C-alpha cells in the first residue's frame, strides 16, 4: 500500500476508535458469543453461520453507513477533495479496516463455537469473511451515498436487508432443489450463506455451491467497487467545486 492509503487506514482506525465502533463491536460480539454458548453441542452449522451472516453482511454495512454520514457532518470529504487521496483510496481504506474488524470479531465467535477450531476451519472462515466483509462494506457505501441522514440511510437499507434475508428459506431447508437456485441465485445473501456454510462444514455444500459462491462474490465485489469509485469520485468532485 502507498503512503496515502496507509494514512487513510490510520485515520479510519482513529475515527472508529473515537466513535466507539470497536466498543460496540465488542459488545455485539460478546452478545453473539453468549448466544452461541447456550446452543446445544449438536446444533447444526446453519445456526452458527446465520450469526456470522449478521456480522459482516449487516453490521459492517451499518457501520460504514454511520461512518460516512459522520464524516460528511465533520466535513471530512471536503478535506479529502483537496488532498492527494482519491475515491479509490477512500473506499479501499474502509474495506480494509471494517473487513479486518469483521474477521477479528467473527473468528472470536468461531473459537467460542468450535473450541479449539482446527487450522483449516480458521483459514476457510478467514477467506469467507474477506469476501463477505468486503461486499458488505461496498454495499453499505453505495446505500449511504444517496442518504442525507441516518433515518434516510435506514429507510434505504431496510428493503435491501429484507431481500438479503430471503435466502434463509433455503439455508434452513424450507426451499430446496432447483427452486433455491431459481429464487435466490441472483441474491448476494444466498452466496454469502453458501460460503459461510462451506467454511463451517465443507461437506454441507456441493462443489457447485462453492464455485457459485466464490464466483458470485468475486464478480459482485469488482462491480460494486467500480460502482462505488464512480459514485464517490463524483461526490468528491462536487465537494471540491
Chain segment 1-39, per-residue pLDDT in tens: 588 899 999 989 998 898 888 898 888 889 889 998 898
Tens-place pLDDT, residues 106-124 = 999 999 988 888 999 999 9
d(CA 120, CA 108): 15
Cα–Cα dist 124/114, whole Å: 14
Cell of 31: 452478545
Segment 164-177, tens digit of pLDDT: 999 999 999 899 88
Of 211, 205, 64, 59, the residue nearest 140 (C-alpha): 64
Mean pLDDT for the chain?
89
What is the band of 197 on the pLDDT scale with cuts at 50, 70, 90?
A: very high
**pLDDT tens-digit readout, 38-94:** 988 888 889 988 888 886 566 677 888 888 888 888 877 777 777 787 889 999 999
The residue written with cell numbers 485515520 in the block is 11
- Whether residue 238 is predicted with pLDDT greater than 70 in this model: the reply is no
The reported pLDDT for the residue numbered 28 is: 87
Contacts with 95 (C-beta within 8 Å, 6 or more apart), sequence order: 133, 134, 137, 138
Instruction: Determine contact, residues 116/41, Cβ cutoff 8 Å.
Output: no
First vs last Cα of the chain: how many Å apart? 29
Amino acid at each position: 500500500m502507498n503512503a496515502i492509503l496507509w494514512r487513510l487506514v490510520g485515520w479510519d482506525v482513529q475515527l472508529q476508535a473515537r466513535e466507539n465502533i470497536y466498543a460496540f463491536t465488542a459488545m455485539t460480539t460478546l452478545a453473539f458469543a453468549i448466544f452461541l454458548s447456550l446452543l446445544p453441542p449438536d446444533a447444526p452449522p446453519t445456526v452458527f453461520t446465520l450469526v456470522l451472516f449478521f456480522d459482516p453482511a449487516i453490521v459492517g454495512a451499518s457501520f460504514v453507513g454511520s461512518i460516512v454520514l459522520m464524516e460528511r457532518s465533520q466535513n471530512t470529504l471536503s478535506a479529502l477533495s483537496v488532498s492527494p487521496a482519491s475515491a479509490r483510496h477512500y473506499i479501499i481504506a474502509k474495506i480494509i479496516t471494517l473487513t479486518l474488524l469483521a474477521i477479528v470479531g467473527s473468528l472470536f465467535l468461531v473459537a467460542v463455537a468450535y473450541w479449539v477450531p482446527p487450522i483449516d476451519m480458521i483459514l476457510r472462515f478467514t477467506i469467507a469473511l474477506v469476501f463477505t466483509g468486503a461486499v458488505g462494506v461496498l454495499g453499505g457505501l453505495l446505500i449511504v451515498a444517496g442518504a442525507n441522514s441516518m433515518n434516510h440511510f435506514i429507510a434505504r437499507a431496510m428493503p435491501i436487508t429484507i431481500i438479503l434475508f430471503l435466502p434463509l428459506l433455503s439455508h434452513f431447508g424450507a426451499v430446496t432443489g432447483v427452486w433455491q437456485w431459481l429464487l435466490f441465485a441472483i441474491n448476494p445473501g444466498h452466496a454469502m450463506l453458501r460460503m459461510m456454510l462451506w467454511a463451517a462444514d465443507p461437506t454441507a455444500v456441493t462443489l457447485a455451491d462453492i464455485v457459485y459462491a466464490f464466483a458470485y462474490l468475486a464478480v459482485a465485489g469488482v462491480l460494486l467497487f467500480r460502482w462505488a469509485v464512480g459514485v464517490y469520485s463524483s461526490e468528491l468532485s462536487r465537494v471540491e467545486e
